[in-house]
Structure 1
Amino acid sequence: APAYYITPKLGLHHTRYVMGENNAAGLPGAVRTVPIFSVDSGVIFEREGRLFGQGFVQTLEPRAYYVRIPYRDQNQLPNYDAALADFSFAQMFTENRFFGSDRIGDADQITLALTSRLLDQGSGAERFQVAVGQRFSAQAPQVNLVAPAGNIPNKSDILFAAAGRISPAWLLDSALQYNPNQSHSEKFNVSLRYLPESGKVLNLGYRYTRDSIRQVDMSAQWPLSGRWHGVARWNYSIRDDRILESLTGLEYNEKCWTIRFVAQRFATATQQVSTGFFVQLELNDLVMVGSDVLSSIRQSVPGYTKLNELLNDKPVQGLR
């Protein structure tokens, strides 16, 4: 029999503001009390099969998430930290469409999603996942950061996602946000990673946000010769026809110590850039001297492996 779950939740969000005489609303204080009700439910179906000669388990996971929050006029309340949360799969299954506590969005909505996973039959490890989801509202929400809320569609954008290992060395991660009300894509991200072994990684990504972002992002870590490795990143804006960020570096490991040399370049304004050269010496994973080059490399090169973790375990091989 398939597994299932039903999780009801009932809460009360109470906020009291104590404000000075010179506050923007001209009020000495304000109180807001909002009841919140939600139900999260889902079913997990499984079937066994074989793909490319290997056994796997495929799941089919429909999910429904209902939220009811009555409207409360919050136009006279201060807003210190509330902002509209970015629409995503994670946000679709939350009660409040704002983050921060200064705005609690009204809601009478249900989110429907369908996920399918491929699991390794022996270990249960997830190999690949695809998902689709959309939110439906019984009425347009009224609470917003700026009054009035405006014309908000009763149907949200549709989210699609696909991610996982497409071969032992290749990984894919992609997501699409499609606007069915205007028949166009709002966002699209895709990244491909080649990781044949630790210390060898190539990344290629593309990011698109309608009317604002069209970027290509490439990065790599690769052995060069002996104990030398190279790292690099190149982030290019197609829309602006300029390099937003680039990083080029060399690393050398001698078992007890590692030294890193990095040149980094950032776009700081429309026609301006900032360039820096950094050196870091690491002593046996205990002490680091110089600029924090390691953090910059890790942030720039997904899948990066520290050389002292890599080279102390096996002999170094150069490029073949």
Structure 2
Amino acid sequence: MHIRYFLALSLLPQLVLAEETTPEPDASIQCLVEPPVPRMAVVDPEASETDLQEIRILSDRSEAQMGKQAKFNGNVSFSQGGRHIAADEAILNQQSERLDANGNLVFQDQMFTITADSLVAQMRDNSATLSGAQYWLHGQQIHGDAEKLEITPDNNLHLTKTNFTTCPPGDSSWLLEADKIKIDSTEEWGELWDAKLKIGGVPILYIPYMTIPVSDKRKSGFLFPTFSTSTTNGVEVATPYYWNIAPEYDLTFTPNYMSARGLFLKTDFRYLAGESQQGQLNVEYLGNDNMLSNNADRYLYHWEHKGAIDKNWRVLANFTQVSDNNYFNDMDSDVQSATDNQLSRLGEVSYFERNWDFSARVQDIKVLGEDEVPYQVMPQLNFNYRAPSLWNGLDFDLMSEVSNFKHQDNEFSTATRLHVEPSISFPIQGPAGSLTSEVKLLQTYYWQDDQGNPKNSELDDQVSRTLPQVRIHGQVNFERYTDYFNENYRQTLEPQFQYLYVGYEDQSNIGIYDTAQLQEDYFGLFRERRFSGLDRIADANQMTLGLTTRLFDENNIEKFKFSLGQIFYFQDSRVGINDPQIPTQTYTQENTSNSVLAAELSTQIYKDWYMSGAIQYDTKQSENKKSEVTLDFRPGANKLLQFSYRYVPDLLNTNTNESVNISQAGMRGAWPVSDSLYLVGNWYYDLNESRAVETYAGFQYESCCWALRLSYHYRIKTNYEDDNNSTLDNRELFESGVYLNFVIKGLGGSGPLGVTDMLNDGLFNYRKPLYLKN
């Protein structure tokens, strides 16, 4: 017989440890340790407050004296809202408001499950004590034992003679034992006293006091250290400390000791400014670098901010400064890598409406290792207006800009540039193709100050440049159903053309302030401009022809794509990019009847084999101007073999102003040896210099409760000339090092180590091995 009582007394407090969340998919191992008892805590989302306070008692047998004591036996079940207790026997003393339960005792709520030998609950102050307890936090890996577990009146947990781990039951990879643990249910963190960390059952560390997070909530404390050794920095030990200052602010301070250089200090401060703005501030400092002949100080400071003020206004700021050109080559910075050679200083505010927008910006770019200093934009104002379908299908657009250019070197001229670019276009679009006709008027005014320098005498004080532009671009889409190798496909054929006319005007009386030559890849053939910026607008009378074909399988997934195109010049362009202020520049426009022949290929060759490539071929000189190809074998997640080759002739070395040829072959791979062990490696070889430029080999082991990564890196170093401080007498051309990362999950580690970041760790990132850093 089941007996049900309905009481209005509060039995036990609701202890909030952490919100139960569903982990996001990750390539790393994810384990959730569930209690060996069924989950009972289910709360009706539509239940009222009264229903949540109501206590329900079920049992096979009961004896009760009204107002004194009630005894329950056999399959006893207490429930209140989302809290449940199951036991063989329970006694409820209504006079003292005390509940005693024992025998196969299970306590559950939405956040955790506890099994124990016995339970004593004081309903008057909403507290309880469980003896011989085992506990599990729902939705997390944390579980452990406790000689005594107390639930306090303020909903906190006190555990005595206890331990916890994130390893599965029976796995003693690591265990933290403590004399006492207090878990704060509001802040969701725990305090430990007299703790011992055991790895493989062997005590390795005694900790008198420490704090740990018990949820995803941020908590101040030390993160796991990293260890490495390299030929340039010696032995390195980094011990990051995380400070959770407030919900809107946090800071990570990392002392990094390098035996060859000294103590390298890194600070990363992050903040939120309201609901839609965020930023960070980085400060890095190494005093008296022992690897420099003059023991100079090395430093970096960096600030970035971005976000929305409201639905219309946007702000953006970015500023970085370093002590010397070789800072990123020598230091393991949190801001940029050794392959980055530009420091951006930018401030921008923008306003957006449906048909128009306005922005104001200041910009300064520092190029590391180069003698030439770019111009500063102080400031630049932009106004853009769009009126689609203004009249009978005609679209009207207006782009305008006012820029003021300054230079840190007083020998260079300064300038103010006003550019107005109205355009009218007539687009016709349909499933069978598209045709767009466009007319533009490019009107630019310059006010230039030669700063009294005779070498700037070729620059006019005032320049007015007016250029008409006509552009007609069309594309036709053909498709058919076919089959190849007994597979059904949908094949497309997409020919396109573009006629471009831009008027000519002599522009040698204008300085070069923000202009550079653009690449001539397949998509670049259909650009309107040959140069970035506005200081040089090349005249054009040309036709571009291009063709793309694709294959789609029955699931509409693209399996093959090939593009081929070329520009045919009706008239040679007469505008080059020579800067009158820099006579050593030799950029010229070669007279030719056509551009390079540009082709691109991307295809799934067979099952898990993929190939991509591109080439720019000079048909007139029969020369390869640039080529690149990759062959991938990707049979599954974190399984990769990639072979690559790239060739670029006559690449300008800005340090020596000499041309060099790039011819490099490479291999990259990642492969799981088992469910927990991954191997990752890459190798890139310079065929011209007959030497390896980068070698990386590493393995990563990851289980449910800990992860380990050991890697070896050998790579070429970039060495810039540096006027700010004296560099090494014999600066090394190559650097080699061994790196160790170790994480115990659940003890404030930085999270699971991933295979993806190992693939991206190096000079050549995965899927981008052909990108040139100039």
TM-score bracket relative to the smaller structure: 0.7 to 0.9
**Aligned residue among 11, 19, 34 for 2:440:** 11
Find 2:760's aligned residue among 283, 298, 303.
298
Which runs of structure 2 are paired with 1:140-179 in the superposition (5 Å)? 140-146=572-578, 149-179=588-618
Q: CA deviation at 1:229?
A: 0.9
Task: Specify the code of the residue in structure 2 equivalent to 1:35.
Answer: P
Aligned to 1:166, what secondary structure does the other structure show? strand
Larger RCO, structure (CA 8 Å, separation 6 or more): 1
Amino acid at match of 1:111: T
The question of whether the paired residues in 1 share the 8 Å contact of 2:573 and 2:589 is answered with no
Aligned partners of 1:280 and 1:293 also within 8 Å: no
What code does the residue aligned with 2:620 have? N
Q: Is the 8 A contact 1:260 1:293 kept in 2?
A: no
Contact 1:233 1:301 in 2 (8 A): no
Pair 1:258–1:38, CA change in 2 (3 A): farther
Find the counterpart in structure 1 of residue 488 from structure 2: 55
Aligned pair 1:103/2:536, yes or no?
Answer: yes
| Partner residue in 1 for 2:638 | 199
The change in CA–CA distance for 1:134 and 1:227 in structure 2 (over 3 A counts) is same
Q: Distance in 2 between matches of 1:185 and 1:198?
A: 36
User: Whole-Å Cα distance in 2 between the matches of residues 163 and 149 of structure 1?
Assistant: 33
Q: 2:570 matched to 1:138?
A: yes
Change (3 A) 1:261 1:32: farther
Separation in structure 1 between the aligned mates of residue 445 and residue 482 of structure 2, nearest angstrom: 57
Instruction: Report if the CA contact (8 A) 2:529-2:538 is conserved.
Output: yes
CA-CA distance at 1:86 after TM superposition: 1.3
Alpha-carbon separation, structure 1, partners of 2:590 and 2:671: 51
> Counterparts of 1:256 and 1:29 in 2: how far apart (Å)?
70
Rounded to whole Å, the distance in 1 between the matches of 2:540 and 2:438 is 15
**Cα distance change, pair 278–150 in 1 and its aligned pair in 2 (3 A):** same
Are the aligned partners of 1:109 and 1:138 in contact in 2 as well (CA < 8 Å)? yes
Q: Counterpart of 1:228?
A: 677
Cα offset, 1:206, TM superposition: 1.2
What code does the residue aligned with 2:558 have?
E
Query: Per-residue CA shift, 1:87-139, capped at 9, x if unaligned?
Result: 1011101000112222211111111011111111x332211012211100111
Identity %, equivalent residues: 29
For residues 138-168 of structure 1, give each alpha carbon's deviation from its aligned partner in whole angstroms, at most 9, with x where no partner exists: 1111111128945421211112222111122
Map 1:259-298 → 2, pairs under 5 A: 259-268=708-717, 272-280=733-741, 288=750, 295=757, 297-298=759-760
For the structure 1 residues 194 and 9, does the alpha-carbon distance in structure 2 shift closer, same or farther, using more than 3 Å as the test?
A: same
**Cα separation, partners in 2 of 1:157 and 1:113, compared to 1, 3 Å:** same
Deviations 1:2-37 (A, max 9, x none): 712101222233333344341735544434333322
Q: Secondary structure at the match of 2:606?
A: coil
Which is greater in Rg? 2
Distance 1:171 1:77, change over 3 A: same
Number of residues of Structure 1 aligned to a counterpart in Structure 2: 301
The 2-side partners of 1:269 and 1:21 are apart by 36
8 A contact 1:118–1:127 mirrored in 2? yes
Q: Per-residue deviation at 1:226? A: 4.5
Looking at structure 1, the residues matched to 536 and 737 of structure 2 have their Cα atoms a distance apart, in angstroms, of: 42
Separation (CA, whole Å) in 2 of partners of 1:20 and 1:220 = 56
- Please point out which of 548, 551, 566 is paired with 1:115: 548
Alignment RMSD: 3.1
Structure 1 residues 106 and 261, CA gap change in structure 2 (3 angstroms): farther
What secondary structure sits across from 2:523 in the alignment? helix
Cα contact 2:502–2:539 (8 A) shared by 1: yes
Are 2:680 and 2:758, in contact at CA under 8 Å, matched by a contact in 1?
A: no
Tell me the TM-score normalized by structure 2.
0.36
Distance 1:65 1:224, change over 3 A: same
Inter-partner Cα distance in structure 2 for 1:175 and 1:105: 26
* Correspondence for 2:449: 20
Contact kept, 8 Å, 2:521 with 2:598, in 1: the verdict is yes
In the TM superposition, residue 257 of structure 1 has moved relative to its aligned partner by 6.0
- Alpha-carbon distance, 1:233 to partner: 1.1
Q: 1:17 to 1:246 in 2, by over 3 A?
A: farther
Which of the residues 206, 214, 227 maps onto 2:663? 214
Structure 1 pair 18/256, CA: closer, same or farther in 2 (3 Å)? farther
Q: Which moved more, 1:205-214 or 1:165-174?
A: 205-214
Hey, what's the Cα distance between the residues in 2 that align with 1:259 and 1:17?
60
Comparing 98-107 and 143-152, the one that deviates more: 143-152
CA contact 1:279–1:293 (8 Å) conserved in 2: no
Could you say which residue in structure 2 is the equivalent of 1:91?
Answer: 524
- 2: CA distance, partners of 1:256 / 1:7: 59
Residues 222-262 of structure 1: CA distance to partner in whole angstroms, max 9, x if unpaired?
A: 11344121111111011110111222222232346654333
The AA in structure 2 aligned to 1:214 is S
Give the secondary-structure state (helix, strand or coil) at the position aligned to 1:81.
Answer: coil
The separation in 2 between residues aligned to 1:302 and 1:244, in whole angstroms, is 16
Give the alignment's TM-score, normalised by structure 1.
0.83
Corresponding letter in the other structure for 1:302: Y
State the 1:293 CA deviation: 10
Distance in 2 of aligned mates of 1:73 and 1:263 = 56
Find the aligned partners of 2:629 and 2:589 in 1 and give their Cα distance: 32
Determine the C-alpha separation between the residues in 2 that align with 1:301 and 1:168. Answer: 24
CA distance in 2: counterparts of 1:256 and 1:98, whole angstroms: 54
- What is the distance in 2 between the residues matched to 1:72 and 1:279? 61
Return the letter of the residue paired with 1:220: G
Give the structure 1 partner of residue 271 of structure 2: none
CA contact (8 A) 1:4 1:43 kept: yes
Residue type at the aligned position of 2:562: V
The one-letter code matched in structure 2 to 1:141 is S
Say yes or no: does 1:242 pair with 2:691: yes
- Aligned partners of 1:235, 1:33: CA distance in 2, in Å? 49
Residues 559 and 604 in structure 2, CA contact (< 8 A), matched pair in contact too: yes
Distance 1:39 1:110 in 2: 10
- Write the letter of the residue equivalent to 1:187: K
User: Per the alignment, do residues 56 and 256 of structure 1 end up closer, same or farther by CA in structure 2, a change over 3 Å counting?
Assistant: farther
